[in-house]
């Protein structure tokens, strides 16, 4: 008897181990298709009323109804999304590829002049700054010089040349009469000391550091305080900084835009495969959805009523959160696109797509796009009335649409607290990427449901009579 019980335990343990191994292999095989399957399940739940209507029109011919509903879903969802994404990628790629250092410098200068953030005596100040930095690089350690061998070769500068530049800057400050309380006497003394010291000595390094600190304090006084100096510093980038900005933007943004629009071969193939899997899954979910659900319920060790509760929760949260969020984002994007076109902004499709994406994030919303666009019109393009129109239109029409669409779709069915909604979206995006905008809130709701199930089980256990 004991040997039979032991053999059953061993057999059960081996069965669990085999199931875990095969389950891990199965998950590895299906991991690539989890997102298309999830999106297919969402589409089936959201478009179920349409499928019921088509099924009644087809006189209960299930295959025909499933095929027609699948075609309708693809036409309504995938074709517009792919078209807008491709056009946005083309516009974004064109913007990135046309960014040149000279063009960016001119644009920054125009905005700087518009905002009144021009650096006083810019040529002389930047010349002294560049000379100080050059001296610091020349006196740097061997490791630093080795790391900077890729930099373009620059002519060595001597402290005497720096002294001439600083004296010229001091004369310009005195002659302008605009800066009566600005003086660089301490900086001039440090530079004079540098001319008498030997490069490479500790004293030379200390004096150079003191000169750089003195020049920093001089710039703050020249700009009118630390806050304004910081703003002017940001508005007056050097050509090297502009070149670094362009490289960073090009490396990060262009790759994403090309991928999002399907302009790369690998991503295009992945999109085609994912779209095919999603379309086939939608068809079979519509055709055999109840049978698939019953099979999963039989295989699951959970009680049937708990499984039905989870399936009902998936149905409700899909309709409530996902449908309401997507409809609101799409509506806000389309309305904002109309405003961008009316205001005469370029790259309308790119701005529309970005508005849709940002509208999915709680508390941030479409204002993260239309507000900077309004400021761009006013500050850079100097078109006041289109900027005012876009700002009023965005606040009164675009962002307000969210307050009408979501309550109409939700109708009191949302069980997710606004703070949890925000954190679930942000955490979902960080962990899963773009699909996390939809998956994050659903995971939180499922956790709430499982905790409620656990509470019911504990309550039932406490209420049961002792043996």
Please tell me the least confidently modeled range out of 261-265, 310-314, 378-382.
Answer: 261-265
**How many CB atoms lie under 10 A from the CB of residue 281?**
20
pLDDT-based confidence at residue 142 (cuts at 50, 70, 90): very low
Does the pLDDT of residue 390 top 60, yes or no?
A: yes
Q: What is the pLDDT of residue 274?
A: 76
Report the range of poorest mean pLDDT among 38-52, 203-217, 313-327: 313-327
Q: Is the pLDDT of residue 145 over 70?
A: no
Q: What is the pLDDT of residue 463?
A: 60
319 band by pLDDT with thresholds 50, 70 and 90: low
pLDDT given at position 110:
72
pLDDT digits (tens, 9 = 90+) for 356-375: 878 877 677 888 888 888 88
Distance separating alpha carbons of residues 132 and 212, to the nearest angstrom: 7
Highest mean pLDDT range out of 68-72, 168-172, 265-269, 271-275?
68-72
Helix/strand/coil (H/E/C) assignment for every residue in 204-219:
HHHHHHHHHHHHHHHH
Express as a percent the part of the chain with pLDDT over 70: 73
Confidence of residue 60 (pLDDT cuts 50, 70, 90): confident
Please state the three-class secondary structure of 151-191 as a single string.
CCCCCCCCHHHHHHHHHHHHHHHHHHCCCCCCCCHHHHHHH
CA atoms of 218 and 181, how far apart (whole Å): 10
Place of tokens 């006013």: 378
* Over residues 130-148, mean pLDDT: 63
Q: What is the per-residue DSSP string for 85-128?
A: HHHHHHHHHHHHHT--HHHHHHHHHHHHHHHT-PPTTHHHHHHH
Model confidence at 102: pLDDT above 70: no
Does residue 308 contact residue 341 with C-beta atoms inside 8 Å?
no
Q: What is the pLDDT of residue 105?
A: 65
Q: 242, 109 in Cβ contact below 8 A?
A: no
Determine the average pLDDT of the residues in 217-221. 80
Interatomic CA distance for residues 283 and 100, integer angstroms: 49
Give the pLDDT confidence of 419-429 residue by residue, as tens digits: 777 777 778 77
Average pLDDT over residues 215-229: 79
% of the chain with per-residue pLDDT over 90: 1
Residue boundaries of the structural domains of the chain: 33-118+246-299, 119-235, 302-457
Question: Which of 210-219, 226-235, 245-254 tops mean pLDDT?
Answer: 210-219
278 vs 200, which has greater pLDDT?
278
Cβ atoms 85, 263 nearer than 8 A: no
Instruction: Give per-residue pLDDT as tens, 155-200.
Output: 577 777 777 888 787 787 777 767 666 677 777 787 778 777 777 7
The overall average pLDDT reported for the chain is: 74
Look up the pTM and report it.
0.59
Query: What pLDDT score was predicted for residue 409?
Result: 66
């Amino acid at each position: 008897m004991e040997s039979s019980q032991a053999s059953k335990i061993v057999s059960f343990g081996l069965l669990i181990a085999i199931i875990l191994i095969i389950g891990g292999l199965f998950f590895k095989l299906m991991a690539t298709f989890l997102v298309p399957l999830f999106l297919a399940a969402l589409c089936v739940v959201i478009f179920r009323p349409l499928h019921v209507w088509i099924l009644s029109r087809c006189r209960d011919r299930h295959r025909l109804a499933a095929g027609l509903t699948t075609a309708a879903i693809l036409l309504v969802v995938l074709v517009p999304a792919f078209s807008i994404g491709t056009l946005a990628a083309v516009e974004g790629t064109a913007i990135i590829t046309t960014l040149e250092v000279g063009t960016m410098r001119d644009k920054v200068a125009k905005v700087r002049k518009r905002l009144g953030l021009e650096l006083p005596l810019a040529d002389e100040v930047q010349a002294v700054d560049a000379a100080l930095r050059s001296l610091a690089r020349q006196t740097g350690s061997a490791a630093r010089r080795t790391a900077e061998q890729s930099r373009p070769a620059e002519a060595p500068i001597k402290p005497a040349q720096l002294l001439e530049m600083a004296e010229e800057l001091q004369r310009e400050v005195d002659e302008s009469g605009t800066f009566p309380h600005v003086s660089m006497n301490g900086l001039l003394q440090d530079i004079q000391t540098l001319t008498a010291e030997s490069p490479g000595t500790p004293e030379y390094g200390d004096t150079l550091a003191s000169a750089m600190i003195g020049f920093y304090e001089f710039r703050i006084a020249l700009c009118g305080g630390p806050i304004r100096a910081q703003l002017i510093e940001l508005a007056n980038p050097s050509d090297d900084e502009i070149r670094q900005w362009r490289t960073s933007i090009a490396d990060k943004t262009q790759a994403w835009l090309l991928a999002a629009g399907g302009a790369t071969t690998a991503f295009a193939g992945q999109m085609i495969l994912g779209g095919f899997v999603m379309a086939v899954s939608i068809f079979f979910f519509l055709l055999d959805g109840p049978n698939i659900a019953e099979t999963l319920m039989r295989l699951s060790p959970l009680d049937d009523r708990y499984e039905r509760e989870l399936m009902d929760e998936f149905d409700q949260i899909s309709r409530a959160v996902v449908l309401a969020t997507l409809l609101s984002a799409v509506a806000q994007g389309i309305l904002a696109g109309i405003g961008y076109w009316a205001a005469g902004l370029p790259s309308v499709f790119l701005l529309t797509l970005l508005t849709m994406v940002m509208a999915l994030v709680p508390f941030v919303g479409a204002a993260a796009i239309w507000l900077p666009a309004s400021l761009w019109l006013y500050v850079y393009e100097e078109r006041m009335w289109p900027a005012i129109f876009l700002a009023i239109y965005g606040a009164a029409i675009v962002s307000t649409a969210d307050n009408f669409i979501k309550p109409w779709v939700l109708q009191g069915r949302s069980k997710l607290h606004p703070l949890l909604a925000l954190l679930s979206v942000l955490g979902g995006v960080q962990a899963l990427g773009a699909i996390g905008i939809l998956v994050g809130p659903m995971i939180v709701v499922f956790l709430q449901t499982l905790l409620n199930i656990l509470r019911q089980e504990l309550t039932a256990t406490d209420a049961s009579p002792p043996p």
